[in-house]
Amino acid sequence: MAKLRAVLFDLDDTLLPEMVPEREALLVACGLAADRYDADPEKMLETVDESCRRLWAQWKTPIVYSEIAYSVWEGLWGPTDTAESNLGNDNETITKYKREVWDEVLSVHGIEDSGLRDDIIELHRIERLKRLKPFDGAIEIIEQIKELYPIAIVTNGSPAVQRFKLRESGLADYFDVVVASGDVGFGKPRAEPFNAALEQLNVRPEEAVMIGNSWGSDIRGASNLGMPSIWFNVDQESRPDDGVSPTIELDSLEKIPDAVRQIAN
């Protein structure tokens, strides 16, 4: 086995909680409608999911959002990318998307109130940003590994959103390289995001290890390149029967440094 020379991390739900804080923030935002119109926040949340997915698919470059795995939720609160990115998520488009989603959600629940809609948009943004905090112990783990190896983030999503998350969560300065799928036009498990990071680190796939929670994106993507992998399986999901195997499987962040050492040896 080749000598280990670099460590790659996924971001969402590996180092930074994603879906739990998203749900919490949306419920708080939906609570405004409950306060003013006696709506049910839980039922509204179901409508948000339906509206987001339908309206997201109507954007002028839907294939881009599908290819880079840019989350429908992130469009509701995240920053926009530059025009040069060619992602099409400019401020005008994002603003239109947010308003259409919440107008539709409120309408389904018998509410037409543009002032409430705008208040919900802003409250959701504030509440989501409050929750951009890494998992407990994540920074200590990163610091331990950074003492030994160059480290990179390889994540799916909008470059602006993913880098914003890193900055706001206090993680940005730890990483030597950051690659979002939107930087290269394709998401994991495609090879492009991994290769972009490996090239910047000047290492071969067999000289790095990928750490991530997603079997389909992180573990399969690493396997396709012949790269060792650590599956952060905190939810204790069953392994798919697809012929892919992580080098190591673990269920807590605290075990990552020992897993990296095992791979290095």
Helix, strand, coil shares, percent, the chain, to 5: 55, 10, 35
Task: Give the pLDDT score at 193.
Answer: 97
pLDDT in tens, the chain (265 residues): 689 999 999 999 999 999 999 999 999 999 999 989 988 999 999 899 899 888 887 766 666 667 888 888 899 999 998 877 778 788 888 899 999 999 999 999 999 999 999 999 999 999 999 999 999 999 999 999 999 999 999 999 999 999 999 999 999 999 999 999 999 989 999 999 999 999 999 999 999 999 999 999 999 999 999 999 999 998 888 888 888 899 999 999 999 999 999 999 8
- Do residues 6 and 67 make contact, with C-beta atoms less than 8 angstroms apart? no
The phi and psi torsions of 4 (rounded to 5 degrees) equal -75, 130
Cα–Cα distances (Å) from 186 to 38, 110, 112, 193, in that order, read 43, 40, 39, 7
**What's the CA gap between 87 and 185, in Å, rounded?**
9
Q: pTM score, two decimals?
A: 0.93
Strand order in the sheet with 248-250: 177-180, 151-155, 6-9, 208-212, 229-232, 248-250
CA nearest neighbour of 185 among 256, 257, 118, 85: 85
**What's the CA gap between 205 and 207, in Å, rounded?**
5
CA nearest neighbour of 160 among 216, 101, 83, 218: 83
Domains along the chain? 6-16+134-264 (3.40.50.1000), 19-130 (no CATH)
**What's the CA gap between 190 and 68, in Å, rounded?**
10
- In DSSP notation, 22-76 reads HHHHHHHHHHHHHHHH---HHHHHHHHHHHHHHHHTTSS-HHHHHHHT--TTGGG
With tokens 């999911």, the residue in question is 49
Q: What angle do CA 251, 179, 51 make, to 5 degrees?
A: 75
